[in-house]
Chain A
Amino acid sequence: MATSICRTLKYLQPTTCQNIKCAVSLLDVRLPQPVLVPIRTKKRYFIPPAVNVKQKTQSEQEDKARAAGVVVRQQYIERAINIACTAGIFDPYVPPEGDARLSTLSKEGLKQRTEQLRQGAASQLAYRKIKDHDPEFSTKGFPALAQQIFIDAHAALTQFNKEKLHSLVTERCYPEMVRGNRYKTLRWRFIESLEPPRVVHARCPDMISKGNLYGQVTLRMHSKQTLAIYDRFGRLMLGDEDEPRDVLEYLVLERHLVNPYGRWRLHGKIVPAWAPPKDPIIKTLIIPGPKLKPGEDFEDLNYQVPKPKAVQWSK
């Protein structure tokens, strides 16, 4: 069965007829005759798989396919991602040492308070920027709102209400709150607030492109809370349901200022370097230690369990 082959005329020199005639008259050069070159244009719908084909790598196979004339359309792997929150806390607030211990009535406490009230120029600029985009924001009224968001978010976490939690907590904070808690029962109660919450810090970073503003506000909160975590079988893992604890927290709330539907959501917590260590969990754990040689004893080694460095970190 003869396949149809188109025959095309192909000029060896890519010039127009007039140019050729002029050139010929000027130069008196004998041009070569136009040559007919057969070009295959019939598309092969089915290329049978080659017999005795060796295991070829992907690039070799692609080269072979291209040589055979198979054209693969370029695959556009595009997926639109909506970024609604920043990846971390920019320029985090460093809580001063002894923030929890000093009462506001003592002299040192008053000094600290006056220092904090000024709060730095950058924070003031940030408040101004936030007020430009969100006219309802005020340093006086925001803390109450923020505390309510905090309480609602943790209540939603106990019930594990995913939709409500996503609306109250940013995408960066959500996995940190929820990780490991899927098959556990959490019992959390907010009993009372010991001091009125205060805005201590604010920043307005922009992500990726200039003008894409996000507002991050840090809130200092001193309150009484109860927490008990039960594992999958209903056994107590951590905490006590009847014992309230005093908690000093530095919450960071964030809002996408440029977005008109943006909302203030919990973004993270700052744990200061001087924070007291947390209670251990009820069960005993194995800390991996040094490998012993056959004759050695562990007591003879005087192994010091490495303690983590006291560094401020945000969760």
Chain B
Amino acid sequence: MAASVVTWAGLAAIGRACGHIRSRLLGSSSTLSQVSCLHTSTELNSKHWERKNLIVYPPQQKDEPCRSAEIYHCRRQIKYSKDKMWYLAKLIKGMTIDQALTQLEFNDKKGAKIIKEVLLEAQDMAVRNHNVEYKSNLYIAESFSAKGKYLKRIRYHGRGMFGIMDKVHCHYFVKLVEGVPPKVEQKTGFDQAKEYVEQLRNRTIIHSL
């Protein structure tokens, strides 16, 4: 089976082209994240994660609300499974950085130690380079894992059969934002039921008397 060689640059070009086409189709709606119907996948975000630290915003006027600092950090080609890393990434999403560090310290998984290192690096970067005042005043806005480049090896089975073993690697991305984490509205079952009944009542029957 001939494997087609697709280079990283090629993939980047395809990704960019998809982005352009999508933005043109949307028309006036500018950024991907503002349109709620569009799913921002990890593939589109992960290629330029390091570059997001390099954008410079123009100086703010005195009456504008203070823009919160955003720090993007990632680690590439971690020797761990992306699915197992996802559990940890989902655990710390939305927590304050101190809370996240505590949780990861007492977690038994291998990825916890790695994510903790990444968070400490990002915190240090924030204080040194990105003018963040208090290192505890950060919360984790986004945290996700993505598939890295796999190495392929042969797994020997009986009777001369073999399988191709993937040595899995993953990337881990985190975005720290300065400030207090936003409160997530906890929806109770009763609220959901009420909403459902509202929806049923708002239906209109067309072509009726």
Question: Residues of B contacting A183 with CB < 8 Å?
Answer: 54, 56, 129
B-contact bits for A82-109, CB 8 A (1 contact / 0 none): 0000000000000000000000000000
- The 8 Å CB contact of A234, one of B67, B70, B133, is B67
Interface residues of B in 43-102 (CB under 8 A from A): 54-60, 66-70
In angstroms, Cα B59 to Cα A183, docked, is 12
Q: Which of A218-265 contact B (CB under 8 A)?
A: 228, 230-237
Contact B67 A235, beta carbon cutoff 8 Å: yes
B131 at interface, CB cutoff 8 A: yes
Q: Is B130 an interface residue (CB 8 A)?
A: yes
A170 interfacial contact with B, CB 8 Å: no
Task: Establish whether residues A230 and B54, one from each chain, have CB atoms under 8 Å apart when the complex forms.
Answer: no
Interface of chain B: mostly helix, strand, loop or mixed = loop
Chain B CB count within 10 A is highest, among A187, A231, A233, A283, for A233
Select one of B54, B66, B70, B134 contacting A235, CB under 8 A: B66
Q: A112–B70 Cα gap in the complex (Å)? A: 54
Q: Tell me if A185 and B131 are in contact (CB < 8 A).
A: no
Number of interface residues of B (CB under 8 A): 17
Is B59 a contact partner of A232 (Cβ separation < 8 A)? Answer: no
CB contacts (< 8 Å) of B60 on chain A: these are: 230, 233-235
Contact partner of B58 (CB less than 8 A), chosen from A228, A234, A283, is A234
Q: Are B67 and A233 in contact (CB under 8 A)?
A: yes
Instruction: Give the distance in Å from the alpha carbon of A284 to the alpha carbon of B132 in the complex.
Output: 10
Given A185, A232, A284, which contacts B133 in the complex, CB threshold below 8 Å?
A284
8 A-B pairs closest in CB distance: A231-B131, A230-B59, A234-B60, A283-B133, A234-B57, A233-B67, A234-B59, A185-B59
Question: What is B's interface to A at a CB cutoff of 8 Å?
Answer: 54-60, 66-70, 129-131, 133-134
A-B contact pairs, 7 of them (CB 8 A): A184-B56, A228-B59, A233-B67, A234-B59, A234-B60, A234-B67, A283-B131
